[in-house]
Amino acid sequence: MTVTKWNVRAGAYYDSVVLMQLQRGLLELSGVVDAGVVMATQANRDLLAANNLLPDSISANPDDLLIVVKAEAEDSAIEAIGKVDELLARRKSSAVSQDFRPRSLSSAVKQLPEANWVLISVPGRYAAGVAREALDLGKHVFLYSDNVSLEDEIALKKTAREKGLLVMGPDCGTAIINGIGLGFANRVRRGAIGLVGASGTGTQAVTAQIHNMGAGVSHAIGTGGRDLKSDIGAITAHQALDLLAHDDETKVIVLVSKPPSPDVATQLISAAQSTGKPVVIYFIGYPPPARKIGNLHFAISLSEAAEIAVNSNWELVSGNKLPITNYYLRGLFSGGTLAYETMVGLQATLSPLYSNSAISDSQILSDPLHSQAHTIIDLGDEFFMVGRLHPMIDNDLRIRRMKQEASDPEVGMILLDVVLGEGSHADPASELAPVIKEIIEERAGKLEIVAIVIGTDDDPQNLQSQVDQLKEAGVTVFRTATEAVEYISLRFGSHTPSEYSPVNLEQLKQPLAAINVGLESFYESLTLQGAQAVHVEWRPPASGNDKLAALLEKMKNKK
Amino acid sequence: MTVTKWNVRAGAYYDSVVLMQLQRGLLELSGVVDAGVVMATQANRDLLAANNLLPDSISANPDDLLIVVKAEAEDSAIEAIGKVDELLARRKSSAVSQDFRPRSLSSAVKQLPEANWVLISVPGRYAAGVAREALDLGKHVFLYSDNVSLEDEIALKKTAREKGLLVMGPDCGTAIINGIGLGFANRVRRGAIGLVGASGTGTQAVTAQIHNMGAGVSHAIGTGGRDLKSDIGAITAHQALDLLAHDDETKVIVLVSKPPSPDVATQLISAAQSTGKPVVIYFIGYPPPARKIGNLHFAISLSEAAEIAVNSNWELVSGNKLPITNYYLRGLFSGGTLAYETMVGLQATLSPLYSNSAISDSQILSDPLHSQAHTIIDLGDEFFMVGRLHPMIDNDLRIRRMKQEASDPEVGMILLDVVLGEGSHADPASELAPVIKEIIEERAGKLEIVAIVIGTDDDPQNLQSQVDQLKEAGVTVFRTATEAVEYISLRFGSHTPSEYSPVNLEQLKQPLAAINVGLESFYESLTLQGAQAVHVEWRPPASGNDKLAALLEKMKNKK
């Protein structure tokens, strides 16, 4: 038989290190079998219950501290609970002398004026306020805290962008700036590979492997996991890409994130293209559009991202044609799979993209007979097929649609597949080429036709003659969808220059000096790495009493 | 000014080749500007409208034939419409003499008893009936027709499986059996690469490229696009894999499909594993779980699938441990990205898989505190983090959960990540290893612990000592998620022997002989390739009059 005793402390703020140490202290007491020290949120109460540490009929609010002790006998349990204050006090006295420690961000800045960074790891509900203060003081922010609202994140990042400052986070676990790790970071040698990471352990895995392979890291810039969602629009990732593009030490860039929102992905990929540097992209769980599109390389694992970056030795060929901007692509396919594979490839760079053979619901073309924006049509879809021969046999449907698309002045490129072999039309190019020639002449210089020709030299149509007829009509011919996808992605790739203040690169190159607000271990880690740092002895407004804090704020504003 | 005239012919059946030729015939008449000959479905009427060929206030049913002529003057239009019967008759007389052609499948079989295949390309609503007849006659079916119901597909494939026969399709565009292309197929040399293709042009693109690279194809078996959906359960794909696994000529297998349903994917991948041959898998638009898992290689494009197959020169290492069957994996991660990447890798082989950091909605773990089936938990998720230190700093949460999982007799493997570096716990292995040792002893031989250790030799924790401590406790240690994913996939990989009659391999190796029902061009293509073939002069029951057909059927059943 064991006995469980508990203690509830209403609405006071405790550092999570203090809570951990209190729990450990209780566990060391004689007769104590188990102990739990948590903020009494539903999740934490459920966790206690799962460990048989939640007494029946306990009453506590989510911002109350809940201390539970399970002991072999009643007196041990009571004794343990009685020692809580003593244990909390012991923790305090064992800490470094706090006399020299500032209690506010502004006084910390006076103590270390050269600080260019503020690390924030206070509880989520206070974190945005501290970050705002840091930005007002002209500092970059590393925001480790989670449970920060989306609204706060948007506001902070917009403010930062206007000031040419970075907000890495919220929920940013990892960064390496100028050789110094912030938050959780592996020790890696300095080198030519720069990272933009929307994921903490992703950045750790890649940087560690780069080091283990003998290469090194210039900077690893964290963005926080939500940065690449539509609401935020990848503000930090765009700043970071721009920064690394202009940093001479960075020769290769790695971009790691969970799958971004489609519109954000397109913009980021476009920005990555215009860095002009090799960029390795790994969107975890997102089908890679290709192995390679110009200067972009797509990886399928963290490990592969590191390998590609380290072994990057790419010749970068810059396009010799002006990109097709403000025009749309219309793909008219006879092969469903070729249409689908092309969609998978182009959805990363062309947005918005629609299809009657859509990959995601947002891509569904409402009327298969009328294209909109970039469109890929599978003309062999059942919808078109009632009583009609397949478009690989009968070219009528495709020729009509091709004329329809060409008459749309917004269309800059038409993509076709021409599938040869048994069963297909005996000479498709003879029917397609004259129409293509006519269309290209009519739209003088404003319309490009690209074709993917699938076939072998044994096919009954004469592969070479098919290719020749198409080329003679002005068609750019590829033999695989992969090659066509790379070509089209580069043709539509556009450089959209940033309209915001760039982040100050010179400041980034200064030795890192930082002010730490929150977890003391992050401060210790900074000093161990040789960085100048100051730790703020932070306490929430009114010691975490929200009502009192609101009252104080009101009085302050009245002055 | 042009004049449009039209003619509606109610409910009669016309071959789509006849319709195309009628349209072409009309276009050749003097004064005719444009013409449309279609079955009057809504889609086809919309298509006519898009080409300015749909007269106002026309009344026609979807199974009526609609003939529209646009001419320069009224008399030309009237004259053209008047020639429709003549043009239809001309088409018939120009065809090969039909005297020797059977009018039913059963009489065709008498004419060519060695026929082992029936090719069906009649309109969708009649196709299932013809296929059923072919199966009853003991023939494999190549079902080109689309617009066949899901119910019919399921019924046909179940019947076929019981009889050891294949139903490729419906909507199967392409196959190559024993060197002969069925439907649309490129001419490729024979060789050692076998294909299973749920997509027609996918199979064409891969086989053509294999040929163009100098290699060859044993068989390419089509399945139809819906085969890999849950409802069908990939019946044909499983039969085809089994067939190619047992075919001595096939040394490498390529499997190409749009993304299958998750449960189907898991079963297919498991079946591919147990072929023991190298299998290249390309699920178009599905994130590849890894480059390589044992004998499986994942491609990210049709073109790459061909390249990997041609250049395959793999040493196949067979596992030396018995696979963990009937047990579950529980992954307890401190790093969110590592958890997510591991999910992406394992979702292909472990099913069902749940997580609090799910990739798809169906994977969402309803209660993060209790695992179910295979589960991956991100312990650093916000849910767990209120007032608590991150699991990379504080091991308490993970140790408790590890004990909880180990006490579940259904759990066969626990997977951990151990992330070293600045900011993390100073010696995580010292806290994890003793608990692991204890757990392994308790579950004597029935529980395996795997860890992914992320770190560098410069990290403050001493990487080597961390790895040593874990190994000493009995942990299998990997340095990347990729390696762990491959290991785990192989450990849980299982051979589930088929409970159905295998497809007769000897029959497949016989020279292909086929009966063609539908598009005459497919028959012509067969004979041009040197295959024995008979074309059935097929007409729908009661000439396509459904009411009359139903009546005839009723009378037949009364006999």
pLDDT in tens, A371-380: 999 999 999 9
**Rounded mean pLDDT, A487-495:** 81
Bigger pLDDT: A496 or B134? B134
- Angle of the B336-346 helix axis to the B481-492 helix axis, nearest 10: 40
| Torsion region of B532: left, alpha or beta (phi above 0 gives left; psi -120 to 50 gives alpha) | beta
Q: Are B156 and B150 in contact (CB under 8 A)?
A: no
Lowest model confidence (mean pLDDT) among A147-156, B96-105, B467-476: B96-105
Sign of torsion over alpha carbons A300, A301, A306, A311: negative
pLDDT band at residue A496, thresholds of 50, 70 and 90? low
Place of tokens 């007829």: A469
Q: Are B238 and B188 in contact (CB under 8 A)?
A: no
pLDDT for position A295: 92
pLDDT band at residue B493, thresholds of 50, 70 and 90? confident
Helices (H), B171-234: 200-212
The answer to whether B185 faces chain A, any CB pair under 8 Å, is yes
Q: Please indicate whether, in this complex, the C-beta atoms of B386 and A43 are within 8 angstroms of each other.
A: yes
Q: Please indicate whether, in this complex, the C-beta atoms of B337 and A123 are within 8 angstroms of each other.
A: no
The answer to whether A271 faces chain B, any CB pair under 8 Å, is no
Q: Please indicate whether, in this complex, the C-beta atoms of A205 and B338 are within 8 angstroms of each other.
A: yes
Rounded Cα gap, residues A192 and B270, in angstroms:
42
pLDDT for position A312: 76
Strand, coil or helix: what is A359? Answer: coil
pLDDT for position B319: 52
Lowest model confidence (mean pLDDT) among A113-117, A165-169, A494-498, B65-69: A494-498
pLDDT reading at B279 higher than 90: yes
- Angle of the A200-212 helix axis to the A302-310 helix axis, nearest 10: 40
The answer to whether A212 faces chain B, any CB pair under 8 Å, is yes
Work out whether strand A279-283 and strand A252-257 pair parallel, antiparallel, or are unpaired.
parallel
**Rounded mean pLDDT, A21-36:** 94
Residue B509 burial (CB count, 10 A):
14
Instruction: Provide CB contacts within 8 A for B374, sequence distance 6+.
Output: B328, B329, B330, B346, B350, B351, B352, B353, B354
pLDDT reading at A117 higher than 80: yes
**Rounded mean pLDDT, A469-487:** 96
Q: Which of A147, A153, A186 to mutate to test the interface with B (most CBs of B within 10 A)?
A: A186
Rounded Cα gap, residues A301 and A286, in angstroms:
11
pLDDT for position B314: 60
Q: Which of A386, A394, A397 to mutate to test the interface with B (most CBs of B within 10 A)?
A: A386
Contact residues, chain A, for B404 at CB < 8 Å: 50
Q: What is the average pLDDT value for chain B, to the nearest integer?
A: 91
Q: CA-based Rg of chain B, rounded to a whole angstrom?
A: 30
Nearest to B433 by CA among B388, B397, B467: B467
Q: Please indicate whether, in this complex, the C-beta atoms of A201 and B336 are within 8 angstroms of each other.
A: yes
The answer to whether A300 faces chain B, any CB pair under 8 Å, is yes
pLDDT for position B501: 79
Strand order in the sheet with B190-197: B180-183, B174-177, B217-222, B190-197, B252-257, B279-283, B296-298, B292-293
Bigger pLDDT: A355 or B89? A355
Strand, coil or helix: what is B117? Answer: strand
Summarize pLDDT for A342-361 with one digit per residue, the tens.
Answer: 999 999 889 899 999 999 89
* Total beta-carbon pairs less than 8 A apart between chain A and chain B: 341
pLDDT band at residue A90, thresholds of 50, 70 and 90? confident
Q: Which of B177, B454, B486, B527 to mutate to test the interface with A (most CBs of A within 10 A)?
A: B454
Chain A residue with CA closest to B259: the answer is A359
Scanning B333-372 for CB atoms below 8 A from A yields: 334-338, 340-341, 343-345, 359, 368-370
pLDDT band at residue B81, thresholds of 50, 70 and 90? very high
pLDDT band at residue B442, thresholds of 50, 70 and 90? very high
DSSP designation for A542: G
Rounded Cα gap, residues A16 and B389, in angstroms:
6
Q: Are B187 and B526 in contact (CB under 8 A)?
A: no
Q: Please indicate whether, in this complex, the C-beta atoms of A287 and B304 are within 8 angstroms of each other.
A: no
Scanning B90-119 for CB atoms below 8 A from A yields: none
**Rounded mean pLDDT, B474-491:** 94
Rounded Cα gap, residues B37 and B27, in angstroms:
11
pLDDT for position A203: 96
Q: Please indicate whether, in this complex, the C-beta atoms of B209 and A480 are within 8 angstroms of each other.
A: yes
pLDDT reading at B504 higher than 90: no
Q: Are B183 and A421 in contact (CB under 8 A)?
A: no
Q: Are B238 and B271 in contact (CB under 8 A)?
A: yes
Residue A320, min C-alpha distance to chain B (Å): 26
Rounded Cα gap, residues A308 and A279, in angstroms:
10
Chain B residue with CA closest to A454: the answer is B205
pLDDT reading at A318 higher than 90: no
Q: Are A175 and A182 in contact (CB under 8 A)?
A: yes
Q: Are A381 and A356 in contact (CB under 8 A)?
A: yes
Q: Please indicate whether, in this complex, the C-beta atoms of A388 and B44 are within 8 angstroms of each other.
A: yes
Q: Please indicate whether, in this complex, the C-beta atoms of B304 and A285 are within 8 angstroms of each other.
A: no
Measure CA B173 to chain center: 13
Question: How is residue B190 written in tokens?
Answer: 């024979």
Summarize pLDDT for A363-416 with one digit per residue, the tens.
Answer: 999 999 999 999 999 999 988 988 889 999 999 999 999 999 999 999 999 999
Q: Are A167 and A228 in contact (CB under 8 A)?
A: no
Q: Are A132 and A143 in contact (CB under 8 A)?
A: no
Chain B residue with CA closest to A183: the answer is B423
pLDDT for position A89: 82
pLDDT for position A91: 62
Q: Are B266 and B349 in contact (CB under 8 A)?
A: yes
Q: Please indicate whether, in this complex, the C-beta atoms of A421 and B184 are within 8 angstroms of each other.
A: yes
Helices (H), A39-83: 42-50, 74-82
Q: Please indicate whether, in this complex, the C-beta atoms of B303 and A481 are within 8 angstroms of each other.
A: yes
pLDDT for position A195: 98
Summarize pLDDT for B507-521 with one digit per residue, the tens.
Answer: 888 899 999 999 999
Instruction: Provide CB contacts within 8 A for A265, sequence distance 6+.
Output: A228, A259, A283, A286, A348, A351
**Rounded mean pLDDT, A231-245:** 96
User: Who among A38, A290, A529 is closest to B422 (CB)?
Assistant: A529
Residue B497, min C-alpha distance to chain A (Å): 31
pLDDT reading at B317 higher than 60: no
User: Who among A200, A301, A525 is closest to B290 (CB)?
Assistant: A301
Contact residues, chain B, for A519 at CB < 8 Å: 389, 393
The answer to whether A403 faces chain B, any CB pair under 8 Å, is no
Where is mean pLDDT largest: B47-56, B87-96, B435-444? B435-444
**Rounded mean pLDDT, A419-428:** 96
**Terminal alpha carbon distance of chain A:** 60
The answer to whether B12 faces chain A, any CB pair under 8 Å, is no
Helix (H) or strand (E) holding A161: helix A150-163
Question: How is residue A7 written in tokens?
Answer: 């203690």
| Strand blocks (E) in A240-314 | 252-257, 279-283, 292-293, 296-298
pLDDT reading at B496 higher than 70: no
Question: How is residue B513 written in tokens?
Answer: 């002989």
Strand order in the sheet with B32-39: B3-9, B65-71, B32-39
Rounded Cα gap, residues B220 and A332, in angstroms:
26
Question: How is residue A77 written in tokens?
Answer: 């349990």
Given the cut 0.95, state whether the ipTM is greater than it: no
| Strand blocks (E) in A402-461 | 411-419, 448-454
Sign of torsion over alpha carbons B318, B324, B325, B329: negative
Nearest to B349 by CA among B309, B403, B294, B394: B294
Scanning B415-454 for CB atoms below 8 A from A yields: 417, 419-424, 454
Rounded Cα gap, residues B287 and B304, in angstroms:
14
Rounded Cα gap, residues A80 and A21, in angstroms:
14
For residue B170, say if its preceding peptide bond is cis, omega within 30 degrees of 0: yes
Question: How is residue B280 written in tokens?
Answer: 């290249």
Percent of chain A with pLDDT over 90: 73
pLDDT band at residue B170, thresholds of 50, 70 and 90? very high
Bigger pLDDT: A501 or A415? A415
Q: What is the average pLDDT value for chain A, to the nearest integer?
A: 91
Q: Please indicate whether, in this complex, the C-beta atoms of B287 and A304 are within 8 angstroms of each other.
A: no
Q: Are B468 and B477 in contact (CB under 8 A)?
A: no
Percent of chain B with pLDDT over 70: 94
pLDDT for position A375: 98
Nearest to B36 by CA among B11, A369, A386, B45: B45
Chain A residue with CA closest to B47: the answer is A369
User: Side chain identity at A332, as an amino acid letter?
Assistant: L
